[in-house]
Amino acid sequence: MNKVRSSNYDKYPATRTEGSVWVGWDAIASRLLQEKPAVLAVDCYAGVYEEAVEAAFAGSFEQIIRTRELMKPEAAVRAMTDRFMTDDVLFGFVSPLRLEEFFDDVLLKDARLRAEAGALVIGPGASLVAPQATLVYADMARWEIQQRFRAHKVDGLGVHSAQEPVSIQYKRGYFIDWRALDSYKDGLFGRVDWWLDTNDAARPKLIGAQTFLRGMALTARKPFRVVPFFDPAPWGGQWMKEVCDLDRETVNYGWCFDCVPEENSLLLEVEGEKVEFPSVDLVLLHAQKLLGMPVWGRFGKDFPIRFDFLDTMDGGNLSLQVHPTTQFIREQFGMAYTQDESYYLLDAGEGATVFLGVKNGVDREAMLSDLRAAQRGEISFPAEKYVNRLPAKKHDHFLIPGGTIHCSGANAMVLEISATPNLFTFKLWDWNRLGLDGKPRPINVERGSKVIQWERDTDYVMANLANHFEPIAKGEGWEEIRTGLHPAEFIETRRTRFSVPVPFRTGDSVQVLNLAEGSSAVVESPTGAFEPFEVHYAETFIIPACVEDFIIRPGDGVKECMVIRAYIRFNP
């Protein structure tokens, strides 16, 4: 592997905010019971260990109402959700179900009457039972939910699903439960009295509503980072271990979600304690300020830009894959837009390559026949017979609109810049490889065959997708280059190299950036609207649209830096 620099990558970025924090169940219970509330409602997001929450307060209430006992029978919930779950091992259909629809009307009405006499109400939808109660919201980061899926410790809404395969649990969360809970939570922000963080089950933390809202409002008007998370992969590499200072004993790290606000967390630092919440809370609360009016008008409360890392340094090829077209993803899965993406090479070792597009004159029927034969285990798919394999070096940028066959080869460190949908990969070939669970990974040749854009051949790739750079502007000590994306994609990317302070404007669109060169850089406000914000090599950071003007300069003692920047393009 190429020699990499020593790490100053911050794995736990936080926004400092004023307020008080209570740590541990004893302190939390003491504070919440201080005013002796007759009714305490603890509303829970998916994945919360509700039994632990109940145990902390149960001794103070004669009556306990568990919302899961008020839901429809499991058979009825499954019948209601089956059409959104579908019979596919990975993919479902986006559900419009509201949380209220999971409840039995008669049981809910009875529970409301019982709660008037005093009770602890606990579980998803607790405020539906006791709308006038002291309301605590126990929120949960999606990455932690996924760890609890893997440990088979939590159920879905209205179903006993903990022992189901992890992919099925995740599918239920992604397509059904999280959407219902986010919509419900979006209506609660003005009603919640306390926010509870139980992501670390052994060390829960509580803050007041004003502390939470103040921290979110502060974050929405300054540069910030979400909390990255890292995961091994069958093809994973070794680069992130060094650059991001990860556990050297782990066999590899293939993934890092460095900026996926629907999946990542946000940390608020209160009295020196870091309190964790889903970063989607910020999107729900401050969508217009964060995204900008035009972006909000187009995407609503969806954060449409995703940055993540794919590390194959001293690893293997990613699966050969294709993402759906917009029409296909809308019709088959109910998504509003597809996973258009690109590969930006943060680093590359000797012999690094990218597979991209089909070869000129490819025989599509022969290629599909070989893919199907490989899926059946009859042959090894001859990828280089059909797919372009391009040499890749540091700071190359390959554009991958939906429908384009692609994958990163071994010995590359990819910054993947894409639209947000993050589940919709149709694997076509996985190099005779098993997953980390020792089982074959799901292959989707038939779905892939329906979306492959065969006209994206060698000539098209070289003319439109591989290093399609365009100088934009330059001055003393700086230059800016447009690196993409493709006209079919709504994201614009610009690369700026600078040795002097450089001014930028958000242009009423949220900006997502990564420090692609230089050990550190500092983001400043020309008007002093926010405190200087330091970022380090390989860190991804977000500039809310409402910031409007910002300056980036090299960090102290740093001669030159480079940032890759993405934003929503409205006038290609």
How crowded is residue 512: how many other Cβ atoms within 10 Å of its Cβ? 25
* Model pLDDT, residue 282: 98
* Low-confidence winner among 5-9, 27-31, 144-148 (lowest mean pLDDT): 5-9
Look at residue 58 in the predicted model and tell me its pLDDT: 86
What is the per-residue pLDDT for 2?
46
Confidence check: pLDDT of 60 > 60 = yes
10 Å Cβ neighbour count for 242?
17
Element (H, E) at 299: helix 293-299
Strand order across the 540-543 sheet: 470-475, 478-484, 491-498, 561-568, 511-517, 540-543
Rounded to the nearest 10 degrees, how much is the dihedral formed by the CA atoms of 404, 410, 411, 414?
A: 30
Percentage of the residues of the chain whose pLDDT score is greater than 90: 91
Residue 462: band (very low, low, confident or very high) from pLDDT cuts 50, 70, 90? very high
The reported pTM is 0.95
How confident is the model over 236-252, as a mean pLDDT?
Answer: 95
- Does the structure show a pLDDT above 70 at 112? yes
Q: Are 85 and 167 in contact (CB under 8 A)?
A: no
Q: Average pLDDT, stretch 115-133? A: 96
- How many Cβ atoms are within 10 Å of 252's Cβ, its own excluded? 23
CA 448/CA 358 separation, integer angstroms: 13
Candidates 397, 564, 418, 400; CA nearest to 486 is 400
- Rounded-to-integer distance, Cα 91 and Cα 214, Å: 38
Measured from the Cβ of residue 560, the count of other Cβ atoms closer than 10 Å reads 13
Q: Is 273 helix (H, G, I), strand (E, B) or coil?
A: strand
Compute φ and ψ for 328, nearest 5 degrees. -65, -45
CB-side neighbour CA atoms (13 Å) of 251? 7
pLDDT, residue 248, reads 93
Q: Mean of the pLDDT values across residues 384-402? A: 97
Write down the pLDDT at residue 5: 52
Rounded mean pLDDT of 299-322? 96
pLDDT exceeds cutoff 70 at 471: yes
Q: What angle do CA 287, 290, 291 make, to 5 degrees?
A: 75
Query: When comparing pLDDT for 337 and 132, which is higher?
Result: 132
Cβ proximity of 48 and 140 under 8 Å? yes
The pLDDT, as a whole number, for residue 1 is 46
State the pLDDT at residue 187: 96
DSSP for 86-105 reads -S-SS--------GGGGB-H
* CA distance linking residue 134 with residue 298, whole number of Å: 36
Total number of residues shown for the chain: 572
Q: How far apart are the first and last CA of the chain?
A: 38
Q: What pLDDT sits at residue 39?
A: 97
Condensed to tens digits (0 to 9), the pLDDT of residues 183-223 reads 999 999 999 999 999 999 999 999 999 999 999 999 999 99
pLDDT beyond 90 at 338: no
Is it the case that residue 435 has pLDDT exceeding 80? no
In angstroms, rounded to a whole number, what is the distance separating the alpha carbons of residues 485 and 497? 18
User: Does residue 81 register a pLDDT over 80?
Assistant: yes
- Coil, strand or helix at 15: strand
Max intra-chain CA distance, the chain = 76
Average pLDDT over residues 77-105: 95
Please, which pLDDT band fits residue 53 given cuts at 50, 70 and 90? very high
* β-sheet with 273-278: strand ranges across: 14-16, 265-270, 273-278
Token duo for residue 365: 């029927």
Instruction: Say if residue 572's pLDDT is above 70.
Output: no
Residue corresponding to tokens 């599509």: 364
Q: HSE on the CB side for 79, CA within 13 Å?
A: 5
**What residue segments make up the domains of the chain, in order of their start?**
14-219, 229-465
From the list 362, 360, 358, 324, the residue with the least C-alpha distance to 341 is 324
For residues 393 and 159, give the distance between their C-alpha atoms in angstroms, rounded to a whole number.
49
| pLDDT, the chain, mean | 95
The CATH label, of 2.40.280.10, 3.40.640.10, 2.60.120.10, 3.40.50.880, for the domain at 229-465 is: 2.60.120.10
Q: Which CATH number fits domain 14-219: 3.90.75, 3.40.50, 3.40.220, 3.30.420?
A: 3.40.50
What is the pLDDT at residue 339? 85
Residue-by-residue DSSP string for 480-541: EEEEE--TTSSEEEEEEEESS-EEEE-TTS-EEEEEEESSEEEEE-TT-SS--EEEETT-EE
Please give the pLDDT value at position 424: 85
The helix, strand and coil proportions of the chain, stated in percent and rounded to the nearest 5, come to 30, 30, 40
Q: Which H helix or E strand runs over 207?
A: strand 205-208
| Percent of residues, the chain, with pLDDT higher than 70 | 99
Better-predicted residue by pLDDT, 487 or 164: 164
Q: What pLDDT does residue 163 have?
A: 97
Residue 152 has pLDDT above 80, yes or no: yes
d(Cα 94, Cα 182) in Å, to the nearest integer?
13
Collapse the DSSP code of 377 into the 3-class scheme (helix H, G, I; strand E, B; otherwise coil) and give the result. coil
Instruction: Specify the pLDDT at position 6.
Output: 59
C-beta of residue 57 within 8 angstroms of C-beta of residue 33: yes
